[in-house]
């Protein structure tokens, strides 16, 4: 998984896996989901991320067993 933030476009991309994109759909206003050829989600893009994400410069990662 990879998360990137682009200050210039104020967009955040959350990539779940490296795969080719077949189609994209705006699932909610400002949230675009990219789907692979298998129909599963490959990544999300959040537009105007600084208005939605509490901190674009900090990421918390947790694994629950």
Query: Given this model, what pLDDT does residue 54 score?
Result: 80
Q: What are the angstrom distances between the C-alpha of 31 and each of 11, 16, 62?
A: 10, 15, 23
Count how many Cα atoms sit within 13 Å of the Cα of residue 34 in the half-sphere of its side chain. Answer: 15
Strand segments, DSSP code E, in the chain are 2-6, 11-15, 21-28, 31-36, 41-46
pTM beyond 0.95, yes or no: no
Query: Given this model, what pLDDT does residue 52 score?
Result: 87
Average pLDDT over residues 3-23: 95
Q: pLDDT tens-digit profile of 47-56?
A: 999 998 887 7
Tokens of 10: 């104020």
pLDDT interval class at 65 (50, 70, 90)? confident
């Amino acid at each position: 998984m990879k998360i990137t933030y682009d200050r210039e476009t104020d967009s955040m991309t959350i990539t779940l896996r490296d795969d080719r994109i077949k189609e994209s759909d705006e699932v909610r206003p400002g949230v675009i989901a990219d789907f692979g050829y298998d129909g599963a989600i490959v990544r999300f893009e959040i537009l105007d991320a600084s208005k939605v994400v509490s901190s674009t410069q900090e990421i918390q990662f947790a694994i629950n067993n």
